Structure 1
Amino acid sequence: MKTVFEFKDYKAYLKNCISQMPRAGRGARVAMAKAISSPVSHVSQILNATSHLSMEQAEAVNAFLDHTEDESDFFLLLVQFSRSGTQALKKRLQKQMQQAIEKRLVLKESLGVKAEISKEDQALFYSSWLYGAVHVMTSIPQFQTRQAIAEYLNVSPKRIAEVLEFLESKALVLSSKNGYEIGKNRIHLGSDSPMISKFHTNWRMKAVQAFEKEQISSNLHYSSVISISENDREKIKVLLVKYIDNIKNIIRDSKEEGVHCFSIDFFNI
């Protein structure tokens, strides 16, 4: 899927966006007209004739397309470039667009070097369940676009775009012609990390949400309060550790078809 940074003309970009929307963009012009507070006929004139978006309308399109900050800035530059009336201004805007593109290229080149994920980046990654979920979902073919991920998780495309932008900046995901795919970098949280509590809490909360939703037959939830001997407690713990190892072996060789949460709790009260 092409990004705004791959276009030199904002109208061509908008037509491409519309063609990628559900039902081949049917109704998209009406929705865009509503977003920019303009008649549908004006949207058609913008896309197919000499009319242009105003800068205010361009900003409204940013919101309509759920652009990230960088995408929004570049889209505004494209609109300004098309609206500009002198070669001097066009040259200045073209320079700014080239600088934005080069900045992204430098970032992508730097991602070829496998680097340690900083503590600050780890803190952001583990601040929400969303980062881990989106990261894993990019390994599944049907979830390698913003829209597909956003619809499945019921999260706004703009928020998903922000998460993907962060993951891409850390080489955790890579952009491709069809969207995104999981990157070579990996992130692991040690059991002694101060963020481990937040990580477990995030996914236990998702478990509660899953339980409170309409019951899905493929889901499995089990809780029990028990009284046992210390000797049997250790036996159960050993069995659970072996069970986890077996599950990991299955996961490692499994084809990526769906995203699931697997968690186990066994603790003293």
Structure 2
Amino acid sequence: MSVSIYHYNDYKEFYNAWVANQPREGFGEYRRLAQALNVSTTMVSQVFKGDKHLSLELASEMCDYLRLIEDETEYFLLLVDYNRAGSFKLQKHFLRQIKSRQEKSKKLETRVKANELSGEAKNTFYSNWVYSGVQMLVDTGKFNDAETLSQHLNLPRNHVQKVLDFLLDNNLLVESKGKLKLGMARTHVGSSSSLVTRHHMNWRIQSMTKLQQNRDEDFFYTGPMVLSHEVANWIRQELPSFVESMNAKLIPSPSETVRCLNIDFFEY
């Protein structure tokens, strides 16, 4: 999450900042949240653009939707309590707790940079597809230890355990109540990074392996083509739009299955 919840005393301001940070500035986000909470879009709008407040029950469901970890969930519910408080005395009580948790988060941030991996950790993470692969598999909730992951991936258990240890040490995964979950740290490699070529190659090698298995649920397309410059430019412009539209649906969707999409379009 690139928007830190601990920077906010108002849960509405936090969520609206989170929305603004999503692809296409969160277009359609209120509708998606309403569907997740099983309430009307009007109700969501009245809460986050008006004076209404979430119930604690809906707030708890919203924490799951936002994929907040345990500490973030407790803080979000505290913000709801604070904003719903009916007296100045009660507000002061909750505000003291808010300030305490904010100070705690600052101390944590001095030990672990929450939103971005260090250069050395990035080099490790992008050295092999298995790091992001294990992270995504854990997010489905179906894999919670090295044994089940090693069986699924057909990799040595000790190797998978080292990957898990790395992800936990770098806050890419966290353990909460005996369960592994996504941590606050995030990874991104831009087109100008020296790691981007390795990132593409890692997953294309996996793609070649899956191609040989010829499974019905997979889809591969190779289309050498001769075409006009106009159509070639149109395809080049449409691909980023497709990725943007895909991400708008992908980000709020529940983690149920892990897939990899590789798109190659180039002139030769």
- 1:44 aligns to what? none
Distance 2:157 2:179 in 1: 13
Distance 1:115 1:241 in 2: 24
Distance 1:193 1:113 in 2: 20
Matched, 1:254 2:253: yes
Aligned amino acid, residue 236 of structure 1: I
Distance 1:111 1:181 in 2: 20
- 2:242 aligns to what? 243
Contact 1:173–1:182 under 8 Å retained in 2: yes
Contact 1:111–1:169 under 8 Å retained in 2: no
Distance 2:116 2:234 in 1: 37
Mapping of residues 44-63 of structure 1, within 5 Å: none
Distance 1:247 1:240 in 2: 10
Distance 2:171 2:195 in 1: 21
Distance 1:110 1:174 in 2: 17
- 2:152 aligns to what? 152
Query: Could you tell me how far 1:115 is from its partner in structure 2?
Result: 5.6
Q: Quick one: structure 1 residues 111 and 260, their matched pair in 2 at CA, closer, same or farther if it must change by over 3 Å?
A: farther
Query: Residues 220-240 of structure 1: CA distance to partner in whole angstroms, max 9, x if unpaired?
Result: 100011111222111011111
Distance 2:197 2:135 in 1: 20
Distance 1:142 1:111 in 2: 30
Aligned amino acid, residue 118 of structure 1: S
- 1:199 aligns to what? 199
Q: Quick one: structure 1 residues 255 and 113, their matched pair in 2 at CA, closer, same or farther if it must change by over 3 Å?
A: same
- 1:164 aligns to what? 164
Contact 1:146–1:161 under 8 Å retained in 2: yes
TM superposition score normalised by structure 1: 0.57
Unaligned 5+ segments in structure 1 are 1-107
- 2:217 aligns to what? 218
TM superposition score normalised by structure 2: 0.57
Distance 1:145 1:161 in 2: 8
Query: Could you tell me how far 1:208 is from its partner in structure 2?
Result: 0.4
Query: Residues 178-237 of structure 1: CA distance to partner in whole angstroms, max 9, x if unpaired?
Result: 342111110100110011111100111100000012x21110100011111222111011
Query: Residues 158-191 of structure 1: CA distance to partner in whole angstroms, max 9, x if unpaired?
Result: 1111001111111000123334211111010011
Using CA pairs below 8 Å that are at least 6 residues apart, which structure has the higher relative contact order? 2
SS of the residue aligned with 1:142? coil
Distance 2:193 2:109 in 1: 30
Contact 1:134–1:164 under 8 Å retained in 2: yes
Unaligned 5+ segments in structure 2 are 1-107
- 1:124 aligns to what? 124
The Cα RMSD (Å) is 1.8
Distance 1:110 1:137 in 2: 29
Contact 2:140–2:255 under 8 Å retained in 1: yes
- 2:229 aligns to what? 230
Contact 1:143–1:149 under 8 Å retained in 2: yes
- 1:142 aligns to what? 142
- 1:186 aligns to what? 186
- 1:264 aligns to what? 263
Aligned amino acid, residue 192 of structure 2: D
Q: Quick one: structure 1 residues 111 and 130, their matched pair in 2 at CA, closer, same or farther if it must change by over 3 Å?
A: farther
Aligned amino acid, residue 227 of structure 2: I
Query: Could you tell me how far 1:255 is from its partner in structure 2?
Result: 1.2
Query: Residues 19-63 of structure 1: CA distance to partner in whole angstroms, max 9, x if unpaired?
Result: xxxxxxxxxxxxxxxxxxxxxxxxxxxxxxxxxxxxxxxxxxxxx
Distance 2:113 2:197 in 1: 30
